[in-house]
Amino acid sequence: DAGVTQSPTHLIKTRGQQVTLRCSPISGHKSVSWYQQVLGQGPQFIFQYYEKEERGRGNFPDRFSARQFPNYSSELNVNALLLGDSALYLCASYSFGSAYNEQFFGPGTRLTVL
Amino acid sequence: KQEVTQIPAALSVPEGENLVLNCSFTDSAIYNLQWFRQDPGKGLTSLLLIQSSQREQTSGRLNASLDKSSGRSTLYIAASQPGDSATYLCAVIDNFNKFYFGSGTKLNVKP
């Protein structure tokens, strides 16, 4: 079975631009979460979606938004990019009621803002 | 607010040594605790997951313990190898399946 997939792998943008990152969960998983990992730090929670509804939001500005589609894939959008948005963006999926409710992470999208 | 701290921030050991990485958390109301490995520029590789009702988990040369009451977990690596060099991240998971990560311990195992 395919794991969590994310696209693109790498992305370079300039300040003020907008970016869309994509995530496809493991088949059968209905929940997707997004995390931002700045260099040298641990990942920070951005959003959680379950059954297409937002279930949690971290301490990020309104420039960050996300949505989940009927097929449970998800997009993370960041508007008006700042240099500080340069980071590895990780997506995780899980299935309620699975063993340990374990979440599985994708390989991430590395965003560089110049 | 849950805060996760990892000590030390960096560690350099000669090959073959046994070592312990430490993780502490401020809120004991956790669902699971998970240890990850991260190679430079890469994503997260799950190493061990401990449920809140468990005390430890083992996989090969790795052993993770959990003491919820004191807010501590340790990752023990036996007979370290150069291939173990990476950053090790500890994460606690709350009842809403939200992860709280530490900043990691960067391990260098010298041949």
Q: Which tokens in the block code for residue B81?
A: 């190898």
- The β-bridge relationship of strands B105-110 and B10-14 is parallel
Is A43 in contact with B41 (Cβ distance < 8 A)? Answer: no
Task: Kindly list the residues from chain B whose CB atom is less than 8 angstroms away from the CB atom of residue A33.
Answer: 97-99
Q: What is the pLDDT of residues A14-68, one digit of tens each?
A: 999 999 999 999 998 999 999 999 999 999 999 999 999 999 999 999 999 999 9
Using the structure block, give the residue that is written with the tokens 């990992």.
A37
Q: For all residues of chain A together, what is the average pLDDT? A: 93
Residue A97's pLDDT band, with cuts at 50, 70 and 90, is low
Task: Kindly list the residues from chain B whose CB atom is less than 8 angstroms away from the CB atom of residue A100.
Answer: 32, 49, 51
Is A56 in contact with B42 (Cβ distance < 8 A)? Answer: no
Q: Which of A48, A88, A104 sits opposite B98 (nearest CB)?
A: A48
Q: Which of A35, A56, A100 sits opposite B49 (nearest CB)?
A: A100
> Three-state SS across chain A?
CCCCEEECCEEEECCCCCEEEEEECCCCCCEEEEEEECCCCCCEEEEEEECCEEEEECCCCCCEEEEECCCCCEEEEECCCCHHHCEEEEEEEECCCCHHHCCEECCCEEEEEC
Lowest mean pLDDT among A96-100, B32-36, B105-109: A96-100
Handedness of CA B96, B98, B100, B104 (dihedral sign): positive
Q: What pLDDT does A56 receive?
A: 92
Q: In chain A, which residue's Cα lies nearest the Cα of B4?
A: A42
DSSP secondary structure code for residue B2 in this structure: -
